[in-house]
Amino acid sequence: MVKESELSLSHDASLRNKVFKYIKAQIINGRYIPGESLVESKLAEELGVSRTPIREAIRLLELEGLVETTPNKGAVVLGISPKDVEDIYAIRILVEGLAARWAAERMGPADKKELKKVLELMEFYAQKGDLDEVAELDMKFHQIIYESSGSKILNLTLSNLHQYVQLARLESLKVPSRISKTMAEHYAILESFLDGDPDKAEKVLTEHVEKAYVNIKVKKDE
């Protein structure tokens, strides 16, 4: 049974959202796989809650296209398909460079320092071969950029897209030599922000997303 402290579950108005975020995370990280049934009673027992917030969370997941509910079968995981990943990267390639440009124009010293700190931690865990931690820090690295863009809409859009391809990114890091290339690309991104160069930031971040997608396709075709 999942520890209640890990979920910070409490019987209040936010319970449904906490359950929703937990189940969504398990779908995105691959714990709940496509085709798997989400049994309300089992989830309620696992999370230590009643079936009501589980049912409400499943409705929200269905709205996001992560779950499908059918008669006599209940809720079934759809997950993130290869076509979804392709669409997400196509959008990121078009939009993420803009976030980088705006962030380079607006990022303050504190965020630059935090970006550098996160990258140094990525380097540390990459050398240890801890790809789970590298992927988690990679998400944080990009999140700093999204937030520094100064655009609430851009931040929300890219944060969601980046989260949805978490499993695909983790798998791509397992391709030989990809981790070292990823680190080099991140250092080039960091340098563009330290220099306050919007043109360079847009260019190197767009190239990074393009290379990441090529690498994901290589992993998928193996």
Relative orientation angle of helices 15-28 and 40-47, to the nearest 10 degrees: 110
Residue keyed to tokens 């962030």:
103
- CATH class of this structure's domain 82-221: mainly alpha
Q: Over 50: is that where the pLDDT of 10 sits?
A: no
Decide yes or no: CATH 3.40.640.10 for domain 4-77: no
Query: Is the Cβ–Cβ distance between 119 and 186 less than 8 Å?
Result: yes
Q: Which residues are CB-neighbours of 31 under 8 A, at least 6 positions away?
A: none
Strand partners, 75: 38, 69
> What band does 216 get if pLDDT is binned at 50, 70 and 90?
confident
pLDDT tens column, 24-70: 989 888 889 999 999 999 999 999 898 989 999 999 999 988 999 88
C-alpha–C-alpha distance, residues 174 and 164, integer Å:
18
Give the angle 183-184-188 at the CA atoms, nearest 5°.
115
Residue 32 backbone zone (phi > 0: left; psi -120 to 50: alpha; other: beta): beta
CB atoms within 10 A of CB 32: 20
Q: What is the pLDDT of residue 221?
A: 55
CA distances from residue 193 to 104, 119, 197 in whole angstroms, order as listed = 5, 13, 6
> What band does 5 get if pLDDT is binned at 50, 70 and 90?
very low
The lowest-confidence range among 25-34, 89-98, 210-219 is 210-219
CB atoms within 10 A of CB 201: 27
> What band does 220 get if pLDDT is binned at 50, 70 and 90?
low
pLDDT tens column, 155-189: 999 998 888 888 777 777 777 778 889 999 999 99
Q: Which residues are CB-neighbours of 120 under 8 A, at least 6 positions away?
A: none
Mean pLDDT, range 1-20, rounded to an integer: 62
Query: Is the Cβ–Cβ distance between 161 and 109 less than 8 Å?
Result: no
Strand, helix or coil for residue 195: coil
> Encoding tokens for residue 88?
């997400």
Q: What is the pLDDT of residue 80?
A: 87
Q: What is the pLDDT of residue 170?
A: 75
Q: Over 60: is that where the pLDDT of 9 sits?
A: no
- Continuous segment of H or E residues that includes residue 168: helix 166-172
Residue closest to 64 by CA, chosen among 181, 141, 160, 176: 160
Q: What is the pLDDT of residue 73?
A: 78
Q: Where are the domains of the chain?
A: 4-77, 82-221
pLDDT tens column, 112-143: 999 999 999 999 999 998 988 998 999 999 99
Q: Over 90: is that where the pLDDT of 105 sits?
A: yes
- Continuous segment of H or E residues that includes residue 145: helix 131-148
Q: Model-level pTM greater than 0.85?
A: no
> What band does 219 get if pLDDT is binned at 50, 70 and 90?
low
Whether 4-77 and 82-221 share one fold: the answer is no
